[in-house]
Structure 1
Amino acid sequence: MLRRLTPVLLTLVVVALGITALAARPDKGDPERDADFVVLAGVAGLRWDDVDPETTPTLWRMAEEGSIGSLSARSAHRPTCPVDGWLTLGAGNFAAWNGSRTAGGCPATGVTVEQPDRIGANLPDQESVVAYNQDQLTWGATPGSLAESVRCSVAVGPGAALAAARPFGRVDRYAPVLPADPAELLGSCVLSIVDLGTVDGADRAIRTAQARQADAQLARVLAARPPRSLVLLAGVSDTDTPSRLHVAVANGPGWEQGWLTSSSTDRRGYLQLVDLAPTALAALGRPMPERLFVGRAAVPVGGRPADLRAAIDVPADADREAGARHSVAGWFFTVLATAQVALAVAVLPLLRRARRHAGPHGPEPVTRRVVAAVELLLIAAALAVPAALLADAAPWWRGQHAAWWFAVVTAALIVGGTAAVRLSPGHDRTLGPLGAVAGLATLVVGVDVLTGSRLQLNGVVGYSALEGGRYAGLGTVGLGVLIAGSLLCGGWLAQRTPRTWRPMVMVGVGSAAVVVVGSPYLGADSTGAIALTAGVSVAAAICTGGWLTTSRLAWATMAGLALTIGFAMVDLRRPEAERGAVGRFLAALGDGTGGLAVHRSSTANIETLVNSPLTVLAVAGAALVWFALLRPWGGLMRLFGIYPAIRAAMAGTGVAAGIGGVLGGAALDVAGAAGALVVPMAALAALRVLDHATDRTQPGAEAGTGTAGGPGGRPDARSEAEAAECGAADGPARVPAQGAPTSTAAPTA
């Protein structure tokens, strides 16, 4: 009866802990109506390094009194050209202009603004732009949604006309340039959108002159602002490549001296361009067109330094880090994939010759020195991603040669981690390096998530605020490392416990990882938590040995489905702005926009599959496992037979990484990150198992602790340790009769 109830109890534990992780969300504050008028002022290309008290004194005072943040000017196209940025501002969704463009460039087109009267204007191209966004782009944006949400809006300048035009092209009130006294114009409607110009180019003198001109325009706007008004200033687009983070300032009643944030980023000091339209409507107390907006209203939060210079240095430094990360991340993953593929090729002949022959004839075994060197290289390869994550604790991006500084810091951390694993207790045991590497990787990612995921934001192996996919919690690469590390840790610990306790150990470690991944306070990745639950369930089902039978697979599937349903029920009960990925997807299915969500996810999977270097890691790792390690000479099957909990952990890692990548729109990226840790450790453990495949227990030795001899009767400390490990984990080793020695390996499960 106990054996039958164990899967049920384990399923309930995993589901309960997983749902508990989603049961509470951090309070970000509810935006309330605090203005009678809203003025949205945009400057294309304006960054925080353009702001100083001498060049932009008006903006400096505005930021000193109000709340500030880093703006991700993401649109439906990359880079975000000025026309794309203004359209996205007016759509509250990721939009883009329908003109032709070169790769990495902007469309060579101007905005046609017709003025049939002296009041408003018409944009003849607006209807074709709306059709293009709804029919050909994956976000289904409707340019003009912001203007449709208010009775009257004002636009000043051609860029503002794009944002203020209704879907059929009408601008309620329009002025091509800011009047000498704009008070009457800005007070004629509750919403005003003003184009203050552009700051572009790499020449500092030109940027300074353009920023000074935009600041003079801003001074006239602030002098003529209506009473009880909220003024939002934003760098609405990029003006060069690569993309950068831009200025965001909110000034008005209730927005004094704080950081800007929104529930779309869940990161203090960060918001998106699509958040400005919901912020304006929330400040005016107008209802949100939830089906049209993907952004969320921004709110001010505390914690900003009193000194504005110190406060501005924070987003300016984040912009430098994000820019440096853009150029470094590509070559890091390319080098990592190349190195791991080369190491996999180098391991193949070692696997062929790792099994030592006891007789007088046989191939010459590989020297211990070569094997030890390869083992160190495998450990270093497995620690590369955690070391790269930890490297962001050092400000490598501030130097002139950022890529070289990152390489030096990462290499030093890899060497230090490898030395720590080499000198750790139990390194000579078969699973010693595997357990140490898994523990270090889990510790690095787990501590980062518990402390706010600061290393992952704009980190080389994290996520970039410029890309706009994620701003807080656990990233794609971090998810893969945490899945692999936590499950391998669980398997390593379970292997050291009695067989009946192994499922409990695996569930305990896995459930803790599920909470870290799924909690909105921590990893904030509900789809990752669901994927990890499936992996933990599979690992717990087979960690005692045997195959993944129908009943075990049924319990694992039920655990994953139960957690998914639990997530969905809790998430759907939340307000729209607080829902996670699962709740948003189910809500989209309910309101008829689920097709767009599925299309975006499938498109993201295809693009990532084709363009990501992690795809090479995943494919190369799978090829090494299938065509080498799982062959009779590869050693992995023997490893699985001796250590069933490790087999369970690796199987669970494969299941969780595959599901997590597909559900998260990351294709094989999660599997590639997990494989970068698992495959080298699997190869190392297989080498050690093969090295002692012909070791024999000496007659009369005690069970589980008998002295083992290598070829020619040489005693081997690692053989003794492996024999003791097998004996402690899988019961006493068979003691052969005199003259009939047998292998110390336990029977294959």
Structure 2
Amino acid sequence: MFVRLLTALACTLGLVLPAHAWPGTAHAAPVPAPAEQTAPLAAPAQDATSAQVTGAAPVSLTAQPPPEAVPADADAPASGTVVIGSSGLSLEDLSPETTPHLWRMAEEGAAGNLAVRTLTPATCAASGWLSLGAGARMRGADLTPAWQHPLFLDRACPRMLEPTSEAADAPESTGPQPTGLAPAAFSEFHRVDDLNATGGYGALPGAFTHAADSALAREGAPDADATPPAAEGAQADRSAEPSWCTAAVGTGASYAAADPEGQVGLWSPLSTLLDEPEDADERTREKRAAERTALLSACSLTLVDAGTAADPLWDPAASALWSEATLGTLRSAQIQELDDRVGLILESVPDDYDVVVAGLGDSAYPSRLRALLATGPSYPEGTLTASSTRQAGLTQLTDVLPAVLRNTGMEAAGSSPAAFTVDTGTAGKPAQERLDSLTADARKAATVHTHAQTFGIVLDVLFYALFLFTMIGFTVPVVRFMRRRSLAARRRADSLRPAAAVAADAPAVPLSGWRTGVSWACFALGLLPAASFFAGFLPWGRAPDPALALALSIAAAVLVLLLAAVAGPWRRTWAGRIAAVSLLSALVLLADVALGSRLQFNSLMGYNPIVAGRFYGLGNQGAALFLVASLLGLGIVAARLGAHGRAGWARALTAVYALVSVCVLGNPAWGAKFGGTVAALVGFTVLLLALFRIRVNLLKLAGIGAGALVVIMGVAWLDYLRPPAERSHFGSFFAQALDGELLDVIGRKLGANLRIAVINPGLAIVVPLAVLIVLFALAYLRRSRRTAVLARPWDGYLPEALTDPHVHAGFLSAVLALAVGLVITDSGIAVPATGAMMFVPFLVVLSLDAAQRAEGEDASSTADGTVRSAPAYAPVTPAAAETGEAGATSAASASGSTETDRNAPGPEATA
């Protein structure tokens, strides 16, 4: 009776409690086995005949399958995965004629582009395989023995060596090995750790090719001496599948499967898989096919190095000798040979296995996006996307193993949130159409990667030319002023002459003939950065010459922005034109971020998948342009509304715009911009305080910055609470801080800034030049009692931003936002430099506009004998009235109206 009660209770608990609540099924995935396990491993899809042919007896399988496991014909997860790697393979290399097997994978399965960025500008085969196994970026090391090492020291790509069985540790268990597989090891593998110790990614070699819990796997491993319960001639029981292991076939696969000590649990040279006598009879071929099947399905994870799609001796330092164009027929022959090997593997892999083909490295310099093809139960027909990129058709090298293991329910020693999804919306399209779209994306990435630095240099040159022009333009009035009379003579003359005569005698600028042309040129220059994003609206990647198509697309975008500047009521003034194009650019960038960041992706000033620094959200340069465009445009609009007595509307508009912008930038699913959100909070807060006439000092600025950090850290904490696969940069950063990796992250960000300064020193110099121009043009000299006299030569030359409190607040908040971005963002040196590309040209345009209108008013007042009045759009503040000098009265009377004093920025509205 007691036994019956216990039996009934056990049955009841078995129905109520989930499977993972029982001791023997604590893992949803099969219990991993140590990589050095040597017990015979039965292939999940291998029958008894295959086992007899290979000499490996079927084994009792003890671990329980995943609770969700169902038969393969009912959409069950794959029983295992075969990952085939080949450096240099791209989607452009595929065609039905030359690569029929790879083409069939693209037709029947999923395809995508693969970013192969590691720790070097171009990814060598050794770096690619090491990064694949670690699930993190690594640098390949030369493992040549010490006595041979000097012969290969100067190679940019380290030579890859096969492991040896002599250095392998003795296996812990006895029993027959799977045919062709045996333990092996590298004797100089410590060089890999030494070379990657300062990489900043904490990479662990082979992390995703080893078991998650070796001790637990060892306890669950079958006894080699036990008699297997499988029936003779029948397939092994699927409910008793063994702990998964990793089999490495080929040289590169051994790099990925090696643990930190250089030990490879199960390894075989590629020849074991490929060798077959040419004159073999049918029985011999069947035997070799069964042996290949046993080899490929001996473990749940099999890595195969199928060779390279280029010269294996290529050197990134000699780009003129090794390129995909110059390799020509050599590369074509290797791709066809690779396709034959893939076809042989596809014939031998069980039907319930996934097969993934990845171009794990480059074949030439510069780096390019490579191919990723996947077929099997886990991959329906469609486009492959990784959770880390969130861009359709784009994956990362470091995501491959974590994602394929997740699809088969296996747990590795490494930890990664990476996951693959297949967009089946493209399943109905022909394979050629799907590949054409992916190839166009790869060509866009290559074009942007090649010409981004050239575009930056062009902007630098134009910026320096503008700087020289501005410097000369601001110097000429000083020289004239000094040559005409000394400061003392000027004071004596002012004390004797009437105020009207003083106002009429303002220094004239003989630039009216070409000032308009220069203004339009500067205006167009300020539109170039935004136009580089707007070019993404056109499909220039499909053109025969993508570089020319990109240049024409940018020119077309500039033309569209120019048309927008003259298409509405704002066209009558330069301030209105600048406000129109600024807010239009900012709103388009904001909408793009909320809709998937397609304009940021593959743009000259956005982010590039080959560089693989960021794949979604708002980039640093995009954030800089957005902040400048938003704050400058809002300042000008607020000035216009304030001039019509609608200050409340200006404050409400700015508050709503700021709230929407911060929500979009700080949303982990959209902007995911940590430093940019903090900079936006600071900039919009300063602008709002100025509009409410609240004085901003250093203490308040520090409080604003601290509050912004608290808000963004709260968002990062909330993002951290989500599952790892759903986290954005915010949650990942918070997790790294909790794991003690904060200093490594900061080190990488500082290194990125230093690399920018070294690679593009012109961009680094732009920052101080921009600061000088902005500070000088803002003319804070006029706002100080001691230096106001020094600013008098520039009367009539300075932009309206210095006279209207609202526009001045927009400029000031933009400067502060760029300064915060410089300090708090990674690659922060690019933030103020990029912002200056739009900020300074618009500032020069406003300066020229003010000078031109002042000159026209001088001419009209001289003709009719009246006193020159202040500009109509923004009254000039009589800053000299605060100096107490003799000329203060004349400057105040020159304003011509009492509205100047009423609209001037008072102490409570200035920073």
Identity of aligned residues (%): 28
Is residue 98–residue 336 contact of structure 2 (8 Å, CA) maintained in 1? yes
**Match for 1:39 among 82, 85, 95?**
82
Q: Residue 315 of structure 1 aligns with which residue? A: 438
CA distance in 1, matches of 2:773, 2:154: 37
| 5+ residue gaps, structure 2 | 1-67, 70-75, 143-148, 169-180, 213-243, 275-287, 311-323, 482-500, 782-790, 878-888, 907-911
Is residue 805–residue 904 contact of structure 2 (8 Å, CA) maintained in 1? no
The answer as to 2:616 corresponding to 1:472 is: yes
CA distance in 2, matches of 1:594, 1:130: 21
**Match for 2:103 among 60, 67, 83?**
60
Is residue 803–residue 874 contact of structure 2 (8 Å, CA) maintained in 1? no
- Structure 1 or 2, whichever has the larger Rg, is 2
2:810 counterpart letter in structure 1: A
Q: 2:514 is paired with a residue of what secondary structure?
A: helix
Q: Residue 460 of structure 2 aligns with which residue? A: 337
Which residues in structure 2 correspond to 1:595-610 (within 5 Å)? 595-610=743-758
Which residues in structure 2 correspond to 1:182-193 (within 5 Å)? 182-193=292-303
**Range moving further from structure 2, 40-49 or 113-122:** 113-122
**Match for 2:193 among 130, 136, 143?**
130
2:435 counterpart letter in structure 1: I
**Match for 2:711 among 553, 563, 571?**
563
Change over 3 Å in CA distance of 1:741–1:645 after alignment to 2:
closer
CA distance in 2, matches of 1:480, 1:264: 24
Is residue 493–residue 505 contact of structure 1 (8 Å, CA) maintained in 2? no
CA distance in 1, matches of 2:734, 2:380: 37
CA distance in 2, matches of 1:739, 1:204: 76
CA drift at 1:82 = 0.5
CA drift at 1:685 = 1.9
Change over 3 Å in CA distance of 1:724–1:646 after alignment to 2:
closer
Change over 3 Å in CA distance of 1:430–1:320 after alignment to 2:
closer
The answer as to 2:731 corresponding to 1:587 is: no
**Range moving further from structure 2, 502-511 or 338-347:** 502-511
2:198 counterpart letter in structure 1: Q
CA drift at 1:489 = 2.3
Which residues in structure 2 correspond to 1:494-643 (within 5 Å)? 494-495=638-639, 496-497=641-642, 498-499=646-647, 502-545=650-693, 547-549=695-697, 552-553=700-701, 556-557=704-705, 559-612=707-760, 613-630=762-779, 631=781, 632=791, 633=793, 639-643=800-804
CA drift at 1:665 = 1.1
The answer as to 2:411 corresponding to 1:411 is: no
Change over 3 Å in CA distance of 1:685–1:715 after alignment to 2:
farther
Change over 3 Å in CA distance of 1:331–1:565 after alignment to 2:
closer
CA distance in 2, matches of 1:506, 1:546: 15
Q: Deviations over 1:518-573 (max 9, x none)?
A: 23443232432222112211221223456423564365235413422331331121
Is residue 709–residue 719 contact of structure 1 (8 Å, CA) maintained in 2? no
1:331 counterpart letter in structure 2: T
CA distance in 1, matches of 2:451, 2:118: 23
Is residue 503–residue 541 contact of structure 1 (8 Å, CA) maintained in 2? no
1:624 counterpart letter in structure 2: I
TM-score by length of 1: 0.85
The answer as to 2:615 corresponding to 1:435 is: no
CA drift at 1:400 = 5.5
CA distance in 1, matches of 2:329, 2:129: 26
**Match for 1:679 among 840, 844, 856?**
840
CA distance in 1, matches of 2:893, 2:134: 84
CA distance in 1, matches of 2:868, 2:568: 16
Q: Residue 8 of structure 1 aligns with which residue? A: none
**Range moving further from structure 2, 628-637 or 367-376:** 628-637
CA drift at 1:474 = 2.0
Q: Residue 253 of structure 1 aligns with which residue? A: 377
Q: Residue 119 of structure 1 aligns with which residue? A: 182
Change over 3 Å in CA distance of 1:371–1:283 after alignment to 2:
same
Q: Residue 175 of structure 1 aligns with which residue? A: 268
CA distance in 1, matches of 2:845, 2:687: 21
Is residue 383–residue 441 contact of structure 1 (8 Å, CA) maintained in 2? no
CA distance in 1, matches of 2:469, 2:387: 48
Q: Deviations over 1:266-291 (max 9, x none)?
A: 112111000012113212323354xx
TM-score by length of 2: 0.71
Aligned residue pairs total 698
Q: Deviations over 1:165-207 (max 9, x none)?
A: 1221121221111254311112211110001111124344322
Change over 3 Å in CA distance of 1:104–1:543 after alignment to 2:
farther
CA distance in 1, matches of 2:564, 2:343: 59
Q: Residue 904 of structure 2 aligns with which residue? A: 747
Q: 1:172 is paired with a residue of what secondary structure?
A: strand
Q: Deviations over 1:603-638 (max 9, x none)?
A: 112222333453333332112123454252557977
The answer as to 2:510 corresponding to 1:366 is: yes
RMSD: 3.5
CA distance in 2, matches of 1:606, 1:503: 40
Is residue 87–residue 143 contact of structure 1 (8 Å, CA) maintained in 2? yes
CA distance in 2, matches of 1:687, 1:546: 31
| 5+ residue gaps, structure 1 | 1-30, 698-707, 727-733
CA drift at 1:83 = 0.6
Change over 3 Å in CA distance of 1:713–1:336 after alignment to 2:
farther
Q: Residue 340 of structure 2 aligns with which residue? A: 216
Q: Deviations over 1:52-82 (max 9, x none)?
A: 1111111111221111111001112221000
Is residue 116–residue 128 contact of structure 2 (8 Å, CA) maintained in 1? yes
CA distance in 1, matches of 2:580, 2:184: 68
CA distance in 1, matches of 2:868, 2:595: 41
Q: Residue 49 of structure 1 aligns with which residue? A: 92
Which residues in structure 2 correspond to 1:83-94 (within 5 Å)? 83-94=126-137
